[in-house]
C-alpha cells in the first residue's frame, strides 16, 4: 500500500518510524508549519518534519487543510491509506474520502473514553488505572470513527504525562503497523463505538494548571501528574509562582485551611487541602529550575501556616 503519514509532535514519531520499517512505502508526509519558539521566536521544525528530512521523504506543510494547491499535491501522491497520529488538524471530507482504504488514526485512549486532544492527560487527572491505544477509521466527528485495534497499558502510580506519553507512542507505532497488516489481509472488521459511553478529553490550556487547594489531596496529586510537563500545575506563595512537578498524598488530617502549609519536612512541604494533606516533593520557582523540595527549603525559609493561593498576593 502507498502510505501518506500525517503527524506533528514527538508522540507521532514512533508511528512514523514503525511505518518506515514496514513493508509498505511511505510516499509522503504532512506536518504542521514550523512554529516560533523561545525569546527570539525562531522558527523550529516539528519532530515529524525532522524525520521526513532525514529520510528524504516528500513533505507538505499546509497552512489550511482545504487549500486547493495542497489537495492537488496530496492527490498526486495517490495514497492507498492515510495514517494519522497527533497531527493536530481536523481533516475535511475531501481528505477523508481520498484514500481507498480510508484514513486511520492512532488515538491515545481506550475509545470511546477520552475523545479529544488530551486523552492521556485527562486519564491521569481522573486517576485512571489504565489507558491505551485505539486505531480507528476516521470520520467527520471528533474521534467517533469505527475502531480497528485496541490495546491497554497500566498507568503507574508515579506516572506523569511526560513518562506515560513515550510508552503510549511506542505502542501506537506497533499497533498501527499491525492494523495495516491485518487490513491488507482482510482480517480486520471495524467495530462501531458505543457513543453512549463516550467521554471527552479537551485540549488543556495554561489556566488549567492553577491548583485549587479546596479539592481533595488525591485529586490535586492526580492533576499534577496529568499536567506535568505541560501546562504545569502551579500555585503562588505570596508573589512567587511555584510549578509543582511531583507530590504525594499523606494519610493524615489537619485543622488548617486548604492551601496552608502544615509542616516542613526534610524532603517535602506539607499543604492542607479540602480533604487530607499533600506533600510537595519537587517544584520549580518562577525563573528558576526544577528542584527537590529539600533543596528549595535550604534556600527559602517558609513558615507553617503560610497560605498558598491561586493568584499573586502582595
Is the pLDDT score of 143 beyond 70? yes
Give the residue extent of every domain in the chain: 3-197, 206-309
SS (H, E, C) 55-111: HCCCEECCCCCCCHHHHHHHHHCCCCEEEEECCCCCCCHHHHCCCCCCEEEEECCCC
Residue 38: pLDDT band by 50, 70, 90 thresholds? confident
**What fold, for 3-197?**
Rossmann fold (3.40.50)
Q: What is the pLDDT of residue 239?
A: 77
Residue 157: pLDDT band by 50, 70, 90 thresholds? very high
Residues 242-265 pLDDT 10s: 999 999 999 999 999 999 999 999
Is the pLDDT score of 314 beyond 90? no
Residue 312: pLDDT band by 50, 70, 90 thresholds? confident
The CATH number corresponding to 206-309 among 3.10.25.10, 3.40.50.10860, 3.20.20.70, 3.40.50.1370 equals 3.10.25.10
| Phi and psi based region of residue 12 (left: phi greater than 0; alpha: psi -120 to 50; beta: remaining) | alpha
Q: What is the pLDDT of residue 313?
A: 63
Q: Average pLDDT, stretch 78-94? A: 97
Q: What global pTM score does this model have?
A: 0.95
Is the pLDDT score of 39 beyond 60? yes
Amino acid at each position: 500500500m502507498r502510505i501518506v503519514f500525517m503527524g506533528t509532535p514527538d508522540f507521532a514519531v514512533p508511528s512514523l518510524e514503525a511505518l518506515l520499517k514496514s513493508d509498505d512505502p511511505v510516499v509522503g508526509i504532512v506536518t504542521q508549519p514550523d512554529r516560533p519558539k523561545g525569546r527570539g521566536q525562531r522558527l523550529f521544525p516539528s519532530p515529524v518534519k525532522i524525520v521526513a528530512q532525514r529520510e528524504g521523504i516528500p513533505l507538505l506543510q499546509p497552512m489550511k487543510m482545504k487549500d486547493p494547491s495542497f489537495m492537488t499535491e496530496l492527490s498526486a501522491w495517490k495514497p492507498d491509506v492515510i495514517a494519522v497520529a497527533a497531527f493536530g488538524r481536523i481533516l475535511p471530507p475531501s481528505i477523508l474520502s481520498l484514500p481507498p482504504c480510508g484514513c486511520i488514526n492512532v488515538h491515545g485512549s481506550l475509545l470511546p473514553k477520552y475523545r479529544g486532544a488530551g486523552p492521556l492527560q485527562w486519564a491521569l487527572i481522573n486517576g485512571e488505572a489504565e489507558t491505551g491505544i485505539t486505531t480507528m477509521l476516521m470520520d467527520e466527528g471528533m474521534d467517533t470513527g469505527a475502531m480497528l485495534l485496541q490495546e491497554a497499558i497500566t498507568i503507574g502510580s508515579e506516572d506523569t504525562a511526560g513518562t506515560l506519553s513515550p510508552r503510549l507512542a511506542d505502542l501506537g507505532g506497533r499497533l498501527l503497523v499491525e492494523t495495516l497488516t491485518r487490513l491488507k489481509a482482510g482480517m480486520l472488521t471495524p467495530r462501531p463505538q458505543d457513543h453512549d459511553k463516550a467521554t471527552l478529553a479537551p485540549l488543556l490550556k495554561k489556566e488549567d494548571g492553577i491548583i485549587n487547594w479546596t479539592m481533595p489531596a488525591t485529586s490535586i496529586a492526580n492533576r499534577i501528574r496529568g499536567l506535568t510537563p505541560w501546562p504545569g500545575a502551579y500555585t503562588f506563595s505570596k508573589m512567587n509562582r511555584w510549578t509543582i512537578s511531583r507530590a504525594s498524598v499523606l494519610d493524615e488530617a489537619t485543622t488548617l485551611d486548604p492551601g496552608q502549609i502544615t509542616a516542613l519536612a526534610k524532603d517535602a512541604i506539607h499543604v492542607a487541602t479540602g480533604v487530607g494533606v499533600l506533600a510537595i516533593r519537587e517544584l520549580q520557582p518562577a525563573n528558576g529550575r526544577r528542584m527537590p523540595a529539600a533543596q528549595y527549603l535550604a534556600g527559602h525559609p517558609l513558615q507553617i501556616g503560610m497560605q498558598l493561593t491561586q493568584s499573586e498576593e502582595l
